[in-house]
């Protein structure tokens, strides 16, 4: 799994930070997403998929597979 | 706005009138008129003020897609923007709601000056402060006479105090800003009254921002004042952002506090589960369902198409108005099975009560945290809480763009 985040689209809602705190964080100054791990280990895939699904700005894109 | 042949009111299928008042017979239900709109399809046209024929979007999937679509503009000043109030009766009035009525990139530039206040980290740090405030307001209510009005005892003061602290607004001025805020969100107030209320609040915040430059605090208005000093913001922009956050920070949450409390009282079996819950996830899930079910943003989120958009078999043309009805999205059976049943254990997180896309409510982490603290604290500390009047005697806000109740007499 490879994660791409779109900082332009991000609305700083923080859903991803709550669902997968080892993968996502927020900048202190404006709450915009910071990607901590672009290729997270398998045990994070479930929470990351949920974060992508729940993101209100559709700012998280996943490429799965290889 | 261009009128297409099928928009002819004399045709066999004239567009239904919109908006219609929320039904007072069933305050938490979807009205027959709204159901009829949904039956016309995910995307259809209505006839609104002055013969305008904006689109309404009724389904969850299409609303979610459109709210995140940059081809839709939130700019109030666009000629095709569908007015939420009748411009004939109320005039456009003054609707400077800062970045809410702007598009990116200026929207994002301004929004990101305030969004850092609402990070997950900041909200966690604020939790014990909000818990203490909640307990203090409940103490005062319990020490006072019965029945009490829950709106004045708890629902308005709690979020007002919290947002006042974050902004650096003296809470002693709460009557002034609450009264003016109420006028701004009223859909029956005259254009003049709304304009005066807005001018009052903007002037008040402008003075405050100016004062912060000589008497700074650890608060958002001080930060905005610094940005004015650095030339990143005008004083008017800073005041306007202050109005938006002050108003948005208390009026909406206050309405959710009362409506959620009423809903919980009407569902005692489910309420018991909240009271006994020791898992924060149970409370968090319940709050999402309480946000989904009544959908307090009334009359829809409004946009103008900047380009032609093909969606759900229709084409929305550039320049046409679009109204996204979250109260229907949140009762869409394809997103929420058995949507008219309140079920505090369901996964309701994908509701659109806070919108979606770039304009997703900037204060939602704060609202969620306040509600997650308030409901269990209220019902644990006041286990015998009940309404002091029948539900059909409760004055619901059928006259406001943010749904709620004017007062909620409770006893215990």
User: Domain count of chain A?
Assistant: 1
User: Domain count of chain B?
Assistant: 1
Percentage, residues of chain A above pLDDT 70: 98
Confidence of residue B87 (pLDDT cuts 50, 70, 90): confident
Confidence of residue B90 (pLDDT cuts 50, 70, 90): low
DSSP B257-286: HHHHHHHHHH-HHHHHHHHH---HHHHHHH
pLDDT exceeds 60 at position B262: yes
Cβ contacts of residue B201 below 8 Å, gap of 6+?
A: B177, B180, B181, B184, B243, B246, B247
Confidence of residue B6 (pLDDT cuts 50, 70, 90): very low
For B141-165, the pLDDT digits (tens) are: 999 999 999 999 999 999 999 999 9
Closest CA to B199 of B234, B232, B236, B254: B236
Percentage, residues of chain B above pLDDT 90: 78
Residue bearing tokens 């006994």: B276
For residue B68, give how far its alpha carbon lies from the nearest alpha carbon of chain A (Å).
Answer: 6
pLDDT number for residue B89: 67
- Indicate yes or no: CB of A56 within 8 angstroms of CB of B349: no
State which residue of chain B sits closest to A59, comparing Cα positions.
Answer: B357
What is the distance between the alpha carbons of residues B53 and B13, in angstroms, rounded to a whole number?
13
- Indicate yes or no: CB of B112 within 8 angstroms of CB of A32: yes
Question: Taking residues B182-190, what's their average pLDDT?
Answer: 81
CA dihedral sign of residues B204, B164, B364, B402: negative
- Indicate yes or no: CB of A12 within 8 angstroms of CB of B112: yes
pLDDT exceeds 70 at position B126: yes
- φ/ψ of residue B281, rounded to 5: -70, -35
For A29-53, the pLDDT digits (tens) are: 999 999 999 999 999 999 999 999 9
CA separation (Å) from B348 to A53, B42, B102, B156, B353? 13, 20, 29, 25, 10
Query: Which chain B residues are within 8 Å of A56, Cβ to Cβ?
Result: 68, 354-357, 360
- Indicate yes or no: CB of A26 within 8 angstroms of CB of B118: no
DSSP B69-138: -TTEE--TTSTT---SS-HHHH-S-----GGGG--TTHHHHHHTTTGGGG-HHHHHHHHHHHHHHHHHHH
- Indicate yes or no: CB of B358 within 8 angstroms of CB of A57: yes
pLDDT number for residue B238: 96
Alpha helices in B215-234 (DSSP H): 220-229
What is the distance between the alpha carbons of residues B49 and B17, in angstroms, rounded to a whole number?
9
State which residue of chain A sits closest to B357, comparing Cα positions.
Answer: A57
- Indicate yes or no: CB of A26 within 8 angstroms of CB of B362: no
B394 class by beta-carbon count within 10 Å (0-12 exposed, 13-18 middle, 19+ buried): middle
Higher pLDDT, B24 or B124: B124
The answer to whether residues B378 and B136 touch, using CB atoms and an 8 Å cutoff, is no
What is the distance between the alpha carbons of residues A35 and B352, in angstroms, rounded to a whole number?
25
pLDDT exceeds 80 at position B327: yes
Percentage, residues of chain B above pLDDT 70: 94
The answer to whether residues B385 and B412 touch, using CB atoms and an 8 Å cutoff, is yes
For B227-258, the pLDDT digits (tens) are: 999 999 999 999 999 999 999 999 899 999 99
- Indicate yes or no: CB of B108 within 8 angstroms of CB of A12: no
Q: Is the preceding peptide bond at B105 cis, omega within 30 degrees of 0?
A: yes
User: Nearest CB to A17: which of B120, B358, B362?
Assistant: B120
pLDDT exceeds 70 at position B125: yes
Count how many residues are written for chain A.
66
Query: Is residue B223 classed as helix, strand or coil in its secondary structure?
Result: helix
Token duo for residue B388? 């002091």
State which residue of chain B sits closest to A28, comparing Cα positions.
Answer: B116
User: Nearest CB to B120: which of A11, A14, A32?
Assistant: A14
- φ/ψ of residue A2, rounded to 5: -125, 135
pLDDT number for residue B188: 76
pLDDT exceeds 50 at position B4: no
pLDDT exceeds 50 at position B383: yes
CATH number of domain containing B133: 1.10.630.10
Residue bearing tokens 């430059």: B213
Query: Which chain B residues are within 8 Å of A57, Cβ to Cβ?
Result: 68, 356-358, 360
Alpha helices in B345-403 (DSSP H): 364-381
Residue bearing tokens 């239904």: B16
What is the distance between the alpha carbons of residues B86 and B19, in angstroms, rounded to a whole number?
10
The answer to whether residues A23 and A40 touch, using CB atoms and an 8 Å cutoff, is yes
The answer to whether residues B296 and B252 touch, using CB atoms and an 8 Å cutoff, is yes
For residue A40, give how far its alpha carbon lies from the nearest alpha carbon of chain B (Å).
Answer: 21
For residue B384, give how far its alpha carbon lies from the nearest alpha carbon of chain A (Å).
Answer: 34
Q: Is the preceding peptide bond at B147 cis, omega within 30 degrees of 0?
A: yes
Strand partners, B323: B56, B302
Domain, as residue range, for A46 = 2-63
Closest CA to A3 of A28, A34, A30, A29: A34
Question: What value of ipTM does the predicted structure carry?
Answer: 0.95
pLDDT number for residue B10: 46
Q: Hey, is the C-beta of B226 within 8 angstroms of any chain A C-beta?
A: no
pLDDT exceeds 60 at position B91: no
Domain, as residue range, for B345 = 5-411
pLDDT exceeds 90 at position B191: no
Average pLDDT, chain B: 91
Average pLDDT, chain A: 96
pLDDT number for residue B8: 45
CATH number of domain containing A11: 3.30.70.20
Confidence of residue B189 (pLDDT cuts 50, 70, 90): confident
Question: Taking residues B101-108, what's their average pLDDT?
Answer: 95
pLDDT number for residue B322: 98
Question: Taking residues B334-357, what's their average pLDDT?
Answer: 97
Closest CA to A29 of A60, A51, A7, A50: A7
pLDDT exceeds 70 at position B318: yes
Query: Which chain A residues are within 8 Å of B362, Cβ to Cβ?
Result: 11-12
What is the distance between the alpha carbons of residues B349 and B286, in angstroms, rounded to a whole number?
10
pLDDT exceeds 50 at position B5: no
């Amino acid at each position: 799994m490879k994660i791409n985040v779109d900082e332009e689209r991000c609305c700083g809602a923080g859903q991803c930070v709550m669902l997968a705190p080892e993968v996502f964080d927020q900048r202190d100054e404006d709450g915009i997403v910071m990607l901590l791990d672009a290729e997270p280990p398998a045990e994070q895939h479930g929470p990351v998929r949920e974060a992508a699904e729940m993101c209100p700005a559709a700012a998280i894109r996943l490429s799965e597979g290889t | 706005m261009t009128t297409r042949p099928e928009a002819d009111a004399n045709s066999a299928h004239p567009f239904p009138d919109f908006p219609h008042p929320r039904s007072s017979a069933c305050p938490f239900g979807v009205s027959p008129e709204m159901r009829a709109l949904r039956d016309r399809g995910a995307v259809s046209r209505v006839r609104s003020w002055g013969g305008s024929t904006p689109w309404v979007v009724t389904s969850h999937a299409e609303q979610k897609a459109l709210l995140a679509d940059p081809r839709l503009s939130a700019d109030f000043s666009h000629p095709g923007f569908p007015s939420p109030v009748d411009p004939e009766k109320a005039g456009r009035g003054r609707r400077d709601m800062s970045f809410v009525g702007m598009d990116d990139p200026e929207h994002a530039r301004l929004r990101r000056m305030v969004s850092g206040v609402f990070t997950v980290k900041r909200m966690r740090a604020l939790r014990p402060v909000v818990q203490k405030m909640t307990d203090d307001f409940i103490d005062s209510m319990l020490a006072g006479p019965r029945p009490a009005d829950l709106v004045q005892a708890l629902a308005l003061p709690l979020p007002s105090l919290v947002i006042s602290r974050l902004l650096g607004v003296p809470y002693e001025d709460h009557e002034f800003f609450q009264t003016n805020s109420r006028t701004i969100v009223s859909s029956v107030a005259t254009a003049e009254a709304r304009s005066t209320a807005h001018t009052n609040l903007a002037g008040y915040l402008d003075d405050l921002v100016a004062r912060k430059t000589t008497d700074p605090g650890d608060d958002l208005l001080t930060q905005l004042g610094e940005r004015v000093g650095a030339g990143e913001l005008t004083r008017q922009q800073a005041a306007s952002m202050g109005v938006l956050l002050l108003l948005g920070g208390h009026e909406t949450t206050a309405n959710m506090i009362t409506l959620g409390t009423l809903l919980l009282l009407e569902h005692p079996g489910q309420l018991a589960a909240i009271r006994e819950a020791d898992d924060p996830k149970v409370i968090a899930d319940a709050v999402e369902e309480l946000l989904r079910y009544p959908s307090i943003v009334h009359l829809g989120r409004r946009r103008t198409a900047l380009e032609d958009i093909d969606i759900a078999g229709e084409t929305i043309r550039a320049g046409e108005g679009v109204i996204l009805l979250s109260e229907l999205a949140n009762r869409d059976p394809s997103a929420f099975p058995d949507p008219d049943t309140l079920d505090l254990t369901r996964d309701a997180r994908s509701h659109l009560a806070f919108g979606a896309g770039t304009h997703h409510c900037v204060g939602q982490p704060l609202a969620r945290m306040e509600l997650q603290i308030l409901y269990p604290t209220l019902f644990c500390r006041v286990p015998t809480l009940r309404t002091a009047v029948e539900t059909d005697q409760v004055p619901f806000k059928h006259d406001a763009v943010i749904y709620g109740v004017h007062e909620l007499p409770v006893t215990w």
